[in-house]
Chain A
Amino acid sequence: MTLAAAVKTLKIDGRDCSARPDETILDVARENKIFIPRMCQLEGLSTVGACRLCLVEVKGSNKLLPSCVTHVEEGMEVTTTSERLDQYRKMIVELMFTERNHICSVCVSNGHCELQTMAQKLDITHVRFPYRYPQAEVDASHDRFVIDHNRCILCTRCVRVCDEIEGAHTLDIMGRGIESRVITDLNQPWGSSETCTGCGKCVQVCPTGALVEQGRSVAEMEKRRNFLPYLTLMRGEHE
């Protein structure tokens, strides 16, 4: 197959774009500097299509498609912003707030939180749904890190980085639906985990204040994520 045949052409928001066949709509949008909101997707990790914030409209399909896991097709016409999409996205973020106990003002990640930034970006001024206020624990048994389930949005970035990059697979998800929880090993205190290497990648990729460093005060927890693309790039070259 010639290179020219391998290139797919498509329109995103009326703009002509070209892409490799293995790319997703989100990849192409990012290359063309078209913003599509997302929470669970992070460059350098596998995609799971969990948060559904990156839903887009594709001409000819009644369904909304998650752009992070939808591969490009020849002649596709994609719309990333519409009233319908805005409504759904707002609703999704609002529901994230209602599921756990997110209180930005006293959060260690205040000012550095992807959920907070996303809510601001989507012009969310209030939450229309009742909060669930679940009883959620804080596990501070690890020497260096803390997991606060009150602030977890179940994006599973931590689970993926632990498995795919560190190779430890200490973290996983337990339970179903709204009862789901991130656990360490066989649902034991983090401090007693035998598989955790203490690398801290899970903390750095967590979009909120759910995974943080010990001893951080309010608004002090800034995440450092640049390591991830470098790490994956270097590993690719090594292999």
Chain B
Amino acid sequence: MEQRRTIVIDPVTRIEGHSKITLHLDDQGRVEDARFHVTQFRGFEKFCEGRPFSEMPSLMARICGICPVSHLIASAKACDALLAVRIPPTADKLRRIFNLAQVVQSHALSLFHLSSPDLLLGMDADPAKSNLVGVLEKDPALARDGIELRKFGQQIIERLGGKRIHPAWVVPGGVSEPLSGADRDAILESVPEALAIALRTMEWFKGTMERFREEIATFGNFPTLFMGIVKKDGGLTFYDGDIRITDASVKVVADGLDPARYFDYIGEKVESWSYLKSAYYKPRGFPDGIYRVGPLARLNVADRCGTPRADQELAEFHELQRTAVLSSFHYHHARLIEILYCIERMEQLLTHAEILDKHVRAIARHNALEGVGVAEAPRGTLFHHYKIDEQGLVRWANLIIATGQNNLAMNRSVLQVAKHFVHGDRLTPGALNRVEAVIRAYDPCLSCSTHALGQMALRIQLLSPIGEVLDEVVRS
């Protein structure tokens, strides 16, 4: 009898949301296929139907507690398109600062709270220690830096939006309140410390990379397309720009694509085994149109960051691989460069002469019945697309979330890691952790992408071809 078996990792730990991984073994016990299943379902696109569009930014922000600001921004931009207005320049800058602060806190969460146990304690560390508390014991300064950096981002969000999670400050047409001089000064005062943390962490990270040669070589190290928005001059941006797609040899495949026409070039495929749809670049078809978004992709597509320290680091980053930077392990590195960029860019924006201007909201009724809003969320390009009726009530909504766009690459990465590290019908803790760690490198947000958070226990099952449980390990 043919001995085909499946290893199930359920749920995957230290990520945002619910998922499981199945590893399919051949009769020799070698991994022949791997699947990353997203097991939660949200339904935001459906239950917003019938609501006044002016409620959409805050309603959609409830998709996620980690990156509500990204949804606020993309949604408000879609609503700006419904109003058909140009928002006041100060509102534009304030929204940019808000979004950058969000990227800093989200990246800090991903790098320090979720991935630093792997990076500091090693992939083979005792699972019981492999958490932020373990990091705090081994390197208290590093853990403190992580917490401080996240606080820095969160406090900016609070100063601008009134609260850290789900602020209702971003509205169609701009923002609801201008920035006060006192808040501007307080944020600027906190910049040097944040910058110092980012630079320290960068040095530490680069020092640890040598230990992860094997992981760098196998953590999603394969050619794909990369996608992100860039400024007109090709510079890095998180708020406004056109879509650029590059390939593994850093060749521009498509440039200047109108983000509002995303449906012309992005397809979404539904798989029966996951609630997460897989996005692909339409001209190349499925699955050849595999592309990645997020920090790694943004730094591959952008010509420059546009701030001095980040640009210096970007130059070094591009030396990592002769082609585009392909290994998904480098998402961590890219995240750190982006943190640097965000801090530097926020400082530039906060010192702008107009930043305290009181005119921060354009007032209008809906003047268009369809609107698309696009921004770069921490995890990648985020699209919100709404259609409304004559009364301004939402009749249709479509969201394309970063994690969905990385779905194909995450699946392929899990397979690559499993093929390299999983042998036989038993999972060693180190192999298991690596399978999870490659997912963490993408920092997927499953709450967002299926438009939940909960118990992060781990269950691994070894199943026979008829579904019989051969082995089971439970970790809580």
Interface pair A217/B166, CB less than 8 Å apart: no
Interface pair A138/B393, CB less than 8 Å apart: yes
Write 26 A-B pairs (CB below 8 A) sorted by A numbering: A105-B62, A106-B55, A106-B58, A138-B51, A138-B52, A140-B392, A191-B391, A214-B52, A214-B54, A214-B365, A215-B54, A215-B172, A215-B363, A217-B54, A217-B57, A217-B171, A217-B172, A217-B176, A218-B55, A218-B57, A218-B58, A218-B59, A218-B168, A219-B58, A220-B171, A220-B176
9 extra A-B contacts, CB within 8 A, seeds A140-B392, A217-B54 = A110-B168, A138-B52, A138-B393, A215-B54, A216-B54, A217-B171, A217-B172, A220-B168, A220-B176
Q: Write out, one digit per residue, whether chain B residues 33-66 have a CB within 8 A of any chain A CB (1) or not (0).
A: 0000000000000000011101101110010000
- For residue B50, which residue of chain A has the nearest CB? A138
- For residue A189, which residue of chain B has the nearest CB? B391
Q: Write out, one digit per residue, whether chain B residues 57-88 have a CB within 8 A of any chain A CB (1) or not (0).
A: 11100100000000000000000000000000
List CB contacts (< 8 Å) of A182-229 with chain B.
191, 214-220
Contacts of A105 in B (CB 8 A): 62, 166
Contacts of B172 in A (CB 8 A): 215, 217
A83 at the binding interface (Cβ < 8 Å): no
- For residue B60, which residue of chain A has the nearest CB? A106
Interface pair A108/B55, CB less than 8 Å apart: yes
Main SS of the interface on chain B? loop
- For residue A107, which residue of chain B has the nearest CB? B55
A141 at the binding interface (Cβ < 8 Å): yes
Number of interface residues of B (CB under 8 A): 19
Q: Which residue of A139, A140, A148, A217 contacts B168 across the interface (Cβ within 8 Å)?
A: A217
A54 at the binding interface (Cβ < 8 Å): no
Chain A residues proximal to chain B, CB less than 8 Å: 105-106, 108, 110, 137-141, 146, 148, 191, 214-220
Q: Write out, one digit per residue, whether chain B residues 159-201 have a CB within 8 A of any chain A CB (1) or not (0).
A: 0000000101001100010000000000000000000000000
Contacts of A141 in B (CB 8 A): 391
Interface pair B50/A217, CB less than 8 Å apart: no
Residue among A106, A138, A146, A219 with max Cβ neighbours from chain B (10 Å)? A106
- For residue A148, which residue of chain B has the nearest CB? B52
* C-alpha gap A203/B365 in the complex (Å): 19
